[in-house]
Chain A
Amino acid sequence: MVAACLPRERLRPLAGWLLLLSVGSVAAGRIEDQTEQFFRSGHTNNWAVLVCTSRFWFNYRHVANTLSVYRSVKRLGIPDSHIVLMLADDMACNPRNPKPATVFSHKNMELNVYGDDVEVDYRSYEVTVENFLRVLTGRIPSSTPRSKRLLSDDRSNILIYMTGHGGNGFLKFQDSEEITNIELADAFEQMWQKRRYNELLFIIDTCQGASMYERFYSPNIMALASSQVGEDSLSHQPDPAIGVHLMDRYTFYVLEFLEEINPASQTNMNDLFQVCPRSLCVSTPGHRTDLFQRDPKNVLITDFFGSVRKVEITTDTISLQPDLEITESSYKKDRMDEELMEPLKYAEQLPVAQIIHQKPKLKDWHPPGGFILGLWALIIMVFFKTYGIKHMKFIF
């Protein structure tokens, strides 16, 4: 950009200009590094869907779990308009509650997580499997108010937290219905196809929680569970004044961990995976990251739990060049997605071909039960006593 030939008397100011420009370009290089870091994660907004699937007084701890996560998520910046909170909500005003209008998460009543500013979007009998799946997939009747919708787009990071009673492959909703891991995986796939999330963090605190994330097959999902298949998640501490258990162990230690996070923390997901080892939790927490594109150590906790607006004030101008490499790789990624989508279309839910064409299974032979033997012996004895043993030669 410097002119080819110049008169000698203008060289000194020109050199000065060169120096300034070079310094400027070095500074611009640093700013470009910074802007590159600025756009490291692909999301622009955060959502949270927090679900407590049990009701009744003895499930106090599930409501306390969910409300504690709600509290942390709100503290780290996600506003109520971006949180869908589903609770049975019959703890604070239950006639058995000795401290009405409160829900405590710590014994000695240190922390009331109910408070004045809790906005429950789906309460009591509205927490059903159908409503949960409609919230996730967006197939909601047009009369639903905005506070009950998950209005996420393809640049949203969503945190989904579920707690309640579960088993191997299912989660119980309010003592009357269940959601299976296959349904959940399909709902996430619908979300992916409709581009309703950028990245998704799924946390579940139930017995045998790891079975719920076994069937996921959509990209960009990271999952954590409080216990493996075959293990029970245990509750933490009973409170003698209230008379029930107040929290579950896994969520209690996750909360202790989250209390130290502030919006500017650089703590990453690997630290979250270490929360609640077997010695504290008795069950073995598990996680799944194979569907996630980024390395968990590059993923900040606040990418999911907080709503951190990236704002940097600078007086320099930055001209953003279209990075050919990145566009090419993203183009290839899109193409790869489309290629990969064919084999990932349906999870092998029911192997019909196998069932139709399989050979009959050889069942183990059991000797006939004592009852049947006795009955036949009785019948034979009566027969021969009645008709005489001389008839035997006609039978055999």
Chain B
Amino acid sequence: MGLLSDPVRRRALARLVLRLNAPLWALPAAWLERAMRSVGLEVYTQSFSRKLPFPDEAHERYMVSGTNVYGILRAPRAASTESLVLTVPCGSDATNSQAVGLLLALAAHFRGQIYWAKDIIFLVTEQDLLGTEAWLEAYHDVNVTGMQSSPLQGRAGAIQAAVALELSTDVVTSLDVAVEGLNGQLPNLDLLNLFQTFCQKGGLLCTLQGKLQPQDWTSVDGPLQGLQTLLLMVLQQASGRPHGPHGLFLRYRVEALTIRGINSFRQYKYDLVAVGKALEGVFRKLNHLLERLHQSFFFYLLPALSRFVSIGLYMPAVGFLLLVLGLKALELWMQLHEAGVGPEEAGGGPESSPPLQPAQSVGLASLVAPLLISQAMGLALYILPVLGQHVATQHFPVAEAEAVVLTLLAIYAAGLALPHSTQRVVSARAPDRGWMALKLVAIIYLALQLACIALTNFSLGFLLAVTMVPAAALTKPYGPRPLYATLLVLTSPAATLLGSLFLWRELQEAPLSLAEGWQLFLVAVAQGVLEHHTYGAMLFPLLALGLYPCWLLFWNVLFWK
């Protein structure tokens, strides 16, 4: 799978790295400090370190340590109560060097102006987002992800807004803006409108999700392109990953954007002066703010940079999907009571209560077992892969990351065999209608979960609702069982993830073959587990502890005997 999948190579490299005890590429912290100080900023550094739960194959790191360097430009005539941040994340290779140059140039220019009412922090982080997370945790004096970071020596007041910059070349043809953040949080729409205004004023070409703005909204092409952009945003928001440093700022309610410079094969190129002018305009406008950005929307979907869909328009869609579940639950409840009322009519009168109670108690007892077992499977899915990675690597020729992913998939698939085992545990006195009670409980559980998810991360809630609700509503133990089984498997959370990966690449006009898709799926699963441990992303726990047990309940309903 990666550099570390051959166990022999892995052991050699581990020994080498331990001996050197040094990372392969380090930020030139001393040089940065000197450069910022010569510009006239107050410079401080911060070191951080962390041991990841398992080696990160995408970034090739395991024991992470680094230094963040930041310089503060103090407002000349104001008390340092508020600040703005310009951050440049530097990764394990020098892909963001141009951005550092632009940052220093902007710092020198800003230092000569007297109209700053807020402090400006110029932050260069190491190890991309890990460094940003360490800095933010130290700045706000919290510890949510288990990062060991040294406390900050210098602070500048409450952060009002932040802009993250990623440039790899010194000429750009377009600027791409990313808004989706950790767990699907979004910055205030005003910040995006601000950036878009400066794109227009400066004549820069700005893209969203890598797609150009549709010019013609009257024919079919414009709305179609808008729909593609919208679907891309839905998929990115549903994944819950921070797509840039801005995603981590959003957790502290600091409005932030990431701007990426793209150099493609286009005739008209802009140099960094044009980009710098746009950034200067953005910062000057943010300087005029008296309050935090709060007038515009926090929940929206973007078909284009200049258009948005507000929550009032898209929330009813999920409402209707959950209404399906609600109506199905109502129908099951009435059928259950009809079944209970049936013997009552035959007996008539007050003798109805005793026969009803044993039926109900048996129903409840037969419910508890599947519930507990499904939840236990979910817990196993959440805890075992990371916990058992060392055991797995000892017995199988796999790397730790592979072990985690394969254990996860194994437990997931093992859940499919459950109904055969639970039937033996539960007594065979389960009445014929017991599956209705289980399905009722499962439907209510699913509806509650999806409602809660849709409130915080609408895209994830909608995506899961669209796939899981039809299958959940249709599941019955009688009827064409193989058909229902395939339907249920195809709409399980893992299959949804696989499908959305294919859809995502299809929309980006870089379609995947099956093998590539499978590889991407494995990488995505590993990244999901890793990001849960390093940044606190909630996709993995939601799927493992919430939706997977719920799906297992439906699987149990399907194979009810």
Q: Enumerate chain A interface residues (CB-CB to B < 8 A).
A: 56-58, 93-98, 100, 243-244, 378, 382, 385-386
Contact status B288-A96, CB under 8 Å? yes
Contact status A95-B288, CB under 8 Å? no
Residue of A nearest to B284 (CB): A243
User: What is the minimal beta-carbon distance from A58 to any residue of chain B, in angstroms?
Assistant: 7
Given contact pairs A57-B288, A100-B77, enumerate 6 new A-B contacts (beta carbons under 8 Å): A95-B75, A95-B76, A96-B115, A100-B114, A244-B288, A385-B338
Q: Is B98 an interface residue (CB 8 A)?
A: no
Given A56-B290, A100-B114, A243-B284, is A95 in contact with B77 using a C-beta cutoff of 8 Å? yes
Residue of B nearest to A382 (CB): B334
Residue of A nearest to B118 (CB): A95
Q: Enumerate chain B interface residues (CB-CB to A < 8 A).
A: 75-78, 113-117, 284, 287-288, 290, 330, 334, 337-338, 341
User: What is the minimal beta-carbon distance from B398 to any residue of chain A, in angstroms?
Assistant: 55
A98–B116 CA distance with the chains assembled, in angstroms: 9
User: Which of A93, A94, A96, A97 has the most CB atoms of chain B within a 10 A radius of its CB?
Assistant: A96
Residue of A nearest to B75 (CB): A95
Q: Which of B76, B114, B288, B290 contacts A243 (CB 8 A)?
A: B288
Given A57-B290, A58-B288, is A96 in contact with B330 using a C-beta cutoff of 8 Å? no
Q: Which of A57, A96, A243, A386 contacts B334 (CB 8 A)?
A: A386
User: What is the minimal beta-carbon distance from B235 to any residue of chain A, in angstroms?
Assistant: 33
Contact status B78-A95, CB under 8 Å? yes
Residue of A nearest to B79 (CB): A95
Give 14 A-B contacts (CB < 8 Å), ordered by A residue: A57-B290, A58-B288, A95-B76, A96-B115, A96-B117, A96-B288, A98-B113, A98-B115, A100-B77, A243-B284, A382-B334, A385-B338, A386-B334, A386-B337
Contact status A97-B115, CB under 8 Å? yes
A191–B114 CA distance with the chains assembled, in angstroms: 47
A93–B114 CA distance with the chains assembled, in angstroms: 12
Residue of B nearest to A98 (CB): B115
Contact status B288-A98, CB under 8 Å? no
A227–B94 CA distance with the chains assembled, in angstroms: 59
Which residues of chain B are within 8 angstroms of A97 by Cβ–Cβ distance?
Answer: 115
A57–B78 CA distance with the chains assembled, in angstroms: 14
Contact status A95-B334, CB under 8 Å? no
Which residues of chain B are within 8 angstroms of A244 by Cβ–Cβ distance?
Answer: 288
A382–B327 CA distance with the chains assembled, in angstroms: 11
Contact status A95-B117, CB under 8 Å? yes
A378–B338 CA distance with the chains assembled, in angstroms: 17
Which residues of chain B are within 8 angstroms of A382 by Cβ–Cβ distance?
Answer: 330, 334
Q: 7 nearest interchain CB pairs?
A: A95-B78, A95-B117, A95-B77, A98-B115, A96-B117, A385-B334, A96-B115
User: What is the minimal beta-carbon distance from B335 to any residue of chain A, in angstroms?
Assistant: 9
A386–B341 CA distance with the chains assembled, in angstroms: 9
A56–B291 CA distance with the chains assembled, in angstroms: 11
Residue of A nearest to B285 (CB): A243
A308–B172 CA distance with the chains assembled, in angstroms: 66
A377–B284 CA distance with the chains assembled, in angstroms: 58
A98–B287 CA distance with the chains assembled, in angstroms: 12
Residue of B nearest to A385 (CB): B334
User: What is the minimal beta-carbon distance from B339 to any residue of chain A, in angstroms?
Assistant: 12
Contact status A98-B114, CB under 8 Å? yes
Residue of B nearest to A374 (CB): B323
Which residues of chain B are within 8 angstroms of A100 by Cβ–Cβ distance?
Answer: 77, 114
Residue of B nearest to A378 (CB): B330
Which residues of chain A are within 8 angstroms of B334 by Cβ–Cβ distance?
Answer: 382, 385-386
Which residues of chain A are within 8 angstroms of B114 by Cβ–Cβ distance?
Answer: 98, 100
Which residues of chain A are within 8 angstroms of B117 by Cβ–Cβ distance?
Answer: 94-96
A58–B295 CA distance with the chains assembled, in angstroms: 16
Which residues of chain A are within 8 angstroms of B330 by Cβ–Cβ distance?
Answer: 378, 382
A97–B337 CA distance with the chains assembled, in angstroms: 74
A57–B114 CA distance with the chains assembled, in angstroms: 15
A56–B76 CA distance with the chains assembled, in angstroms: 19
User: What is the minimal beta-carbon distance from A75 to any residue of chain B, in angstroms?
Assistant: 31
A382–B338 CA distance with the chains assembled, in angstroms: 11
A172–B341 CA distance with the chains assembled, in angstroms: 67
User: What is the minimal beta-carbon distance from A41 to any residue of chain B, in angstroms?
Assistant: 46
A382–B117 CA distance with the chains assembled, in angstroms: 64
Residue of A nearest to B76 (CB): A95
User: What is the minimal beta-carbon distance from A277 to any residue of chain B, in angstroms?
Assistant: 32
A67–B78 CA distance with the chains assembled, in angstroms: 25
Which residues of chain B are within 8 angstroms of A56 by Cβ–Cβ distance?
Answer: 290
Residue of B nearest to A57 (CB): B288
User: What is the minimal beta-carbon distance from A381 to any residue of chain B, in angstroms?
Assistant: 9
A341–B334 CA distance with the chains assembled, in angstroms: 77
User: What is the minimal beta-carbon distance from A100 to any residue of chain B, in angstroms?
Assistant: 7
Q: Which of B116, B284, B338, B341 contacts A95 (CB 8 A)?
A: B116
Which residues of chain B are within 8 angstroms of A57 by Cβ–Cβ distance?
Answer: 288, 290
A386–B115 CA distance with the chains assembled, in angstroms: 73
User: Which of B75, B77, B115, B284 has the most CB atoms of chain A within a 10 A radius of its CB?
Assistant: B115
User: What is the minimal beta-carbon distance from A62 to any residue of chain B, in angstroms?
Assistant: 15
Residue of A nearest to B345 (CB): A388
A53–B284 CA distance with the chains assembled, in angstroms: 26
Which residues of chain B are within 8 angstroms of A386 by Cβ–Cβ distance?
Answer: 334, 337, 341
A98–B284 CA distance with the chains assembled, in angstroms: 11
Given A56-B290, A100-B77, is A95 in contact with B115 using a C-beta cutoff of 8 Å? yes
User: What is the minimal beta-carbon distance from A366 to any residue of chain B, in angstroms?
Assistant: 21
A124–B338 CA distance with the chains assembled, in angstroms: 74
Which residues of chain A are within 8 angstroms of B75 by Cβ–Cβ distance?
Answer: 95
User: What is the minimal beta-carbon distance from A54 to any residue of chain B, in angstroms?
Assistant: 12
